[in-house]
């Protein structure tokens, strides 16, 4: 069946002070197709989508809907034309119900009286039509992340005229099972004739769910690919302008006799059940498991971010009392949270301020020496190849990969012997991923010991020397990288 182009953007130009953000970009979506939009962080994807949804106004170029030129002065105008977006960071109110979130600002009322029953019935009809097993009166914060994601999508589709749905990193926090449920939902939308823009850094997802792929690089349109006729290597090469190899590791870099730097014995909490492990000098120890397996919870116990019920932690053979993150830092343990924006960075502060915060007393003493701190930050910017206009740039304005590098710089300045990377490449493009991998390997080669928690099995197989597998709060296995495979990891990850 022939599909018509529902939306087309041509020769889009966008300038910010000192930056040519978009340079002659072309983009189109047909009715009933899934169009991927890919590119490294900073390629211009978000800027392009903000123009399409009326958040930004273009400086030059045209937007055509069903062949007619349109102008979007604000998001409401784009919404009225049938364009909805689900942002990567969910925008729900946790204490409200599902129905209240879906119809916020458009409540069912008779006069000034809210009609909750009518609103719940309307929400139920919408959720049922989308084949979603979610009750309209459930409190949103009690739902899983996957169901919250579906509520966001249902909210976007509650505007009856939705013809184009933009999904920005929709699978970032989902398990494999939940991703397949998302894909079922997307296929359902295709059947209804809804065009979908799918933004993701996960190449395997693109090959499975999309029809065509638009590639951007450095604010420019690079090319358009038919998914069925392309390969992962071709997509990546177009995105980054170079070939990136991500072969699995075949042998451990450390001996079983190497010095144990960190050891946890019988850690217990509500989510963690008798977890023990040892981390050796210069080792990358991977933690695998499905969502809810207890990997992050274990890391937070080690770092004192959560209180343990029982268990012991040893650093270089000495038992240590870690009751809060400050104690962990004093013992040379740095934690890079999976939510770097919430727990790893002060988004409103500069690159220098973020890098220096944990080490101010050690670096400058009682009097803060800004010139000295700027020089230190500049050294790390150069060493880690952080892309930033300057060390006084506010961290919020950096791409995800460069924000992650700032977090790493912070702990390198503090000279931590143990670094815990929790989902180190979540929301980061393939080019930045490769740089983070290279940096982690260099740190391990220098003798730093790394724990890496990841939901991406290829990432664990590429980086780890050993892999600890967890399921429902327990360790279900430990695999040397020489024997590790996706199959035996998944078998252990589903063993109770």
Longest dimension (CA), the chain: 76
| Nearest by Cα to 306 from 318, 297, 319 | 297
Please state, in angstroms and rounded to a whole number, the distance separating the CA atoms of residues 301 and 306: 5
Task: Encode pLDDT of 207-265 as tens digits.
Answer: 999 999 999 988 999 999 999 999 888 888 888 776 555 566 788 889 888 999 999 99
What mean pLDDT, rounded, does the chain reach?
88
Q: Is the pLDDT of residue 284 over 90?
A: yes
Return the H-helix or E-strand segment holding 178. Answer: helix 176-191
- Identify the pLDDT of residue 496: 64
CA 193 to chain centre: 29
pLDDT at 1 exceeding the cut of 60 = no
Under 8 Å between Cβ of 406 and 16: no
Give the residue ranges of DSSP H helices in 53-172: 75-80, 98-102, 116-129, 145-157
Half-sphere exposure of 371 (CA within 13 A, CB side): 0
For residue 252, give both structure tokens.
Answer: 């451990």
- Out of 172-181, 238-247, 385-394, 442-451, pick the least confident: 238-247
Both tokens assigned to 397: 């304005």
User: Lowest-pLDDT range, 88-97, 131-140, 237-246?
Assistant: 237-246
Q: How far is Cα 285 from Cα 25, in angstroms, rounded to an integer?
A: 42
Amino acid 246: pLDDT: 59
In Å, how far from its chain's centre is CA 33?
24
Indicate if the pLDDT at residue 2 is higher than 60. no
Give the mean model confidence (pLDDT) for residues 340-356.
88
Q: Does domain 260-493 correspond to CATH entry 3.40.50.150?
A: no
Query: For residue 437, what are the CA distances in angstroms to 58, 290, 421?
Result: 36, 22, 11
CB 417 within 8 A of CB 318: no
Give the full edge-to-edge strand order of the sheet including 466-471.
333-336, 418-422, 449-453, 284-288, 466-471, 474-480
Please tell me the total number of residues recorded for the chain in this structure: 496
343 — phi, psi (to 5°)? -115, -15
Copy the structure tokens of residue 20: 């040519």
Q: For residue 492, what are the CA distances in angstroms to 248, 252, 292?
A: 19, 20, 14
Residue with tokens 């169009």: 35
According to DSSP, residue 344 is labeled: I
Q: What is the pLDDT of residue 182?
A: 83
**Confidence grade of residue 147 (pLDDT, cut at 50, 70, 90):** confident
- Secondary structure class of 83 (helix, strand, coil): strand
What H or E segment, with its residue span, contains residue 494? none
- pLDDT given at position 267: 97
Rounded average pLDDT over 368-390: 88
In the prediction, which pLDDT does 67 show? 93
Please give the Cα distance from 324 to 304 (Å, whole number). 4
Q: Give residue 245's pLDDT.
A: 53
398: tokens are: 């950096």
How large is the average pLDDT for residues 451-462?
A: 90
pTM > 0.95: yes or no: no
Query: Which tokens is 49 given?
Result: 């989508």
Parse the chain into domains and list their residue ranges.
5-240, 260-493
Just give the CATH number of 5-240. Answer: 3.40.50.300
Q: Give me 364's structure tokens.
A: 């400058």
Given a contact cutoff of 8 angstroms between Cβ atoms, the answer to whether 143 and 173 are in contact is no
Mean pLDDT of 101-124: 85
Dump pLDDT digits (tens) for 396-438: 888 777 888 898 888 888 888 999 999 888 767 777 788 888 8
* Dihedral sign from CA coordinates of 262, 268, 270, 273: positive
Are 78 and 156 in contact by the 8 Å Cβ rule? The answer is: no
Q: Which residue has the higher pLDDT, 360 or 206?
A: 206
CA dihedral 463, 465, 469, 475 (to 10 degrees): -140
Write down the pLDDT at residue 5. Answer: 93
pLDDT in tens, 155-204: 887 877 889 999 988 877 676 777 887 888 899 889 989 999 999 878 88
Judge whether 5-240 and 260-493 match in fold. Answer: yes
**252, 354, 447 from 255: Cα distances, Å:** 8, 36, 13
User: Bridge partners of 216?
Assistant: 221
Instruction: Give pLDDT tens digits for 34-82.
Output: 999 998 777 889 899 999 999 999 999 999 999 999 999 999 899 899 9
Contact call for residues 119 and 103 (beta carbons, < 8 A) = yes
Give rounded-to-5 percent helix, strand, coil for the chain: 35, 25, 35
């Amino acid at each position: 069946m022939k599909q018509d182009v529902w939306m087309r953007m041509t020769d889009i130009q966008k300038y910010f002070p000192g930056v040519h953000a978009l340079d002659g970009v072309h983009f189109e979506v047909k009715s009933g197709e899934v169009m991927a939009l890919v590119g490294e962080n900073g390629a211009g994807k978000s800027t392009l989508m903000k123009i399409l949804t009326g958040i930004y106004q273009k400086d030059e170029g045209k937007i055509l809907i069903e062949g007619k030129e349109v102008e979007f002065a604000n998001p409401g105008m784009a919404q009225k034309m049938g364009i909805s977006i689900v942002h990567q960071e969910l925008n729900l109110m946790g204490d409200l119900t599902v129905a209240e979130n879906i119809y916020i600002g458009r409540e069912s009322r008779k006069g000034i009286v809210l009609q909750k029953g009518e609103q719940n019935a309307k929400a139920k009809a919408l959720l049922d039509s989308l084949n979603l097993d979610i009750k309209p009166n459930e409190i949103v914060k009690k739902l899983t992340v996957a169901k919250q994601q579906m509520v966001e999508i249902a909210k976007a589709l509650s505007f009856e005229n939705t013809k184009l749905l933009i999904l920005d990193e929709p699978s970032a926090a989902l398990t494999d099972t939940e991703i397949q449920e998302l894909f079922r939902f997307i296929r359902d939308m295709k059947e209804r004739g809804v065009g979908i823009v799918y933004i993701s850094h996960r190449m395997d997802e693109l090959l499975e769910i999309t029809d065509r792929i638009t590639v951007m690089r450095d604010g420019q349109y690079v090319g358009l690919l038919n998914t069925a006729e392309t390969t992962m290597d071709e997509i990546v090469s177009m995105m980054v302008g170079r070939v990136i190899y991500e072969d699995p590791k075949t042998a451990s870099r450390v001996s079983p006799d190497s010095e144990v730097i960190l050891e946890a014995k019988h850690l217990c909490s509500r989510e963690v059940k008798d977890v023990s492990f040892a981390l050796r000098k210069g080792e990358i120890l991977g933690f695998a498991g499905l969502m809810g397996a207890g990997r992050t919870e274990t890391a937070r116990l080690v770092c004192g971010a959560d209180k343990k019920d029982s268990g012991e932690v040893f650093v270089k053979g000495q038992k240590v009392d870690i009751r809060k993150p400050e104690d962990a830092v004093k013992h040379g343990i740095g934690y890079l949270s999976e939510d770097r924006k919430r727990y790893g960075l002060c988004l409103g502060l500069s690159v220098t301020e973020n890098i220096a915060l944990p080490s101010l007393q050690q670096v400058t003493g009682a009097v803060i020496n800004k010139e000295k701190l700027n020089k230190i930050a500049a050294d790390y910017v150069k060493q880690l190849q952080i892309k930033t206009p300057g060390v006084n740039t506010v961290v919020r304005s950096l791409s995800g990969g460069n924000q992650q590098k700032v977090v790493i710089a912070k702990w390198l300045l503090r000279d931590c012997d143990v670094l815990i990377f929790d989902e180190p490449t979540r929301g980061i493009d393939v080019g930045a991923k490769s740089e983070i991998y290279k940096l982690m390997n260099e740190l391990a080669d220098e003798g730093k010991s790394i724990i890496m928690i990841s939901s991406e099995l290829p990432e664990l197989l590429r980086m780890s020397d050993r892999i600890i597998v967890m399921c429902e709060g327990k360790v279900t296995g430990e695999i040397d990288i020489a024997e590790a495979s996706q199959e035996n990891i998944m078998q252990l990850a589903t063993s109770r």
